[in-house]
């Protein structure tokens, strides 16, 4: 459609100053659509389409005729695009002169903006700064949104690194570096949690027999290998819910949650002792160790105390050592229940 020199000049100015606009003729059909508005519709061809086919005027309510629209000149219009995304926009309509010549006579210019929906519109229609007038505040909002996104992503990455470092530091603080088992600090935390709760548990103090002879004969590197093999064997012979901690050179503590039966503790202790008597291959030979175990059960105490149970299990352990090693003793308040006497003259 020919708009004439004046009309073409007007269109060029509008495309530059407010690229998201529509020029309507007197019949309410689109004579021209700004480049940004055309981008909001899939086919981009809006020429000669009716206003009502492109926009739903939500407020103020009118019959949609051009005469009714021209009466809303200067008012804030709330519209919705008649498209797949039904994006909501704001608009203002400015009537064109009635005494002009050509197709612009009796028409109007409808200028649009996204309002607070700018960020979603930029995402939905892949808009860039070139789709807005250079003086449009939307440009600054886009820069602010982009800067905020970059800052938030950097903050998220930093938080993830800090959280990972924190978890790694906590894990290291509660882990025995040689065996990968829990350490004494972790054991103290577990005992505090268990004794403050209502779950029964058993505690076994495990001490290796003849470990000094391994270091003396094969060297400390072989001794470290034996400790690692012992740790792996103990993990294999216990449940995933059980906690095993290395609390000294060749001293270990095993926590058995939900275990309150002396007989069951005795069976577990005997199985561990038998497993730890298997020969262990070291780089320069084969060695053997065994274990003595002292145990205490929280169900034997009116008010369980982690420190008291550790002390009582330790006394039971020394009793097992005195009986010849390679056996277990379970502490009770007045007497002790022990496994079979397996001294056999062992030292």
How remote is the C-alpha of 262 from its chain's centroid? 42
Give, as one character, the DSSP assignment of residue 143.
Answer: H
Q: Are 44 and 57 in contact (CB under 8 A)?
A: no
Name the residue among 212, 211, 195 with its Cα closest to residue 203: 195
Q: What is residue 65's three-state secondary structure?
A: coil
183 Cβ contact list (under 8 Å, min separation 6): 174, 175, 176, 245, 246, 247
Place of tokens 């050179």: 249
One of 15, 250, 300, 341 is an active-site residue; which one? 250
Determine the length of the chain. Answer: 347
* C-alpha–C-alpha distance, residues 7 and 1, integer Å: 11
Closest CA to 37 of 54, 15, 21, 13: 21
| Tokens 């548990």 found at | 201
User: 250 an active-site residue?
Assistant: yes
Angstrom distances, CA of residue 49 to CA of 25, 38, 52, 139? 10, 12, 8, 29
**Residue 238 and residue 276 in contact, taking contact as beta carbons nearer than 8 Å:** no
Q: Is the four-CA dihedral 291, 297, 300, 303 of positive or negative sign?
A: positive
- Residues classed as catalytic: 250
């Amino acid at each position: 459609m020919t708009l004439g020199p004046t009309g073409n000049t007007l269109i060029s100015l509008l495309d530059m100053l407010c690229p998201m606009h529509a020029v309507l003729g007197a019949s309410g059909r689109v004579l021209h659509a700004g480049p940004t508005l055309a981008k909001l519709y899939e086919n981009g061809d809006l020429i000669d389409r009716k206003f009502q086919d492109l926009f739903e005027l939500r407020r103020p309510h009118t019959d949609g005729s051009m005469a009714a629209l021209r009466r809303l000149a200067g008012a804030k219009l709330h519209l919705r695009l008649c498209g797949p995304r039904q994006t909501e926009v704001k608009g203002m309509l400015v009537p064109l002169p009635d005494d002009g010549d050509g197709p612009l006579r009796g028409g109007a210019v409808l200028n649009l903006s996204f309002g607070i929906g700018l960020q979603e519109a930029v995402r939905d229609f892949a808009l860039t700064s070139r789709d807005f007038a250079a003086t449009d505040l939307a440009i600054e909002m886009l820069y602010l949104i982009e800067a905020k996104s970059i800052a938030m992503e950097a903050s998220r990455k930093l938080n993830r690194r800090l959280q990972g470092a924190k978890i790694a530091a906590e894990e290291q603080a509660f882990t025995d570096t040689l065996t990968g088992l829990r350490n004494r600090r972790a054991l103290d935390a577990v005992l505090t949690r268990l004794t403050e709760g209502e779950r029964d548990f058993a505690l076994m103090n495990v001490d290796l027999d003849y470990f000094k002879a391994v270091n003396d004969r094969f060297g400390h590197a072989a001794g470290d290998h034996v400790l690692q093999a012992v740790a792996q064997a103990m993990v294999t012979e216990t449940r995933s819910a059980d906690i095993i901690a290395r609390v000294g050179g060749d001293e270990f503590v095993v926590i058995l949650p939900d275990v309150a039966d002396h007989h069951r503790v005795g069976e577990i202790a005997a199985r561990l002792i038998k497993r730890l008597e298997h020969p262990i291959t070291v780089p320069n030979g084969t060695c053997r160790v065994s274990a003595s175990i002292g145990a205490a059960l929280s169900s034997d105490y009116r008010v369980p105390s982690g420190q008291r149970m550790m002390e009582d299990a330790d006394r039971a352990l020394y009793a097992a050592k005195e009986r010849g090693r390679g056996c277990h003793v379970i502490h009770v308040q007045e007497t002790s229940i022990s496994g079979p006497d397996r001294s056999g003259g062992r030292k």
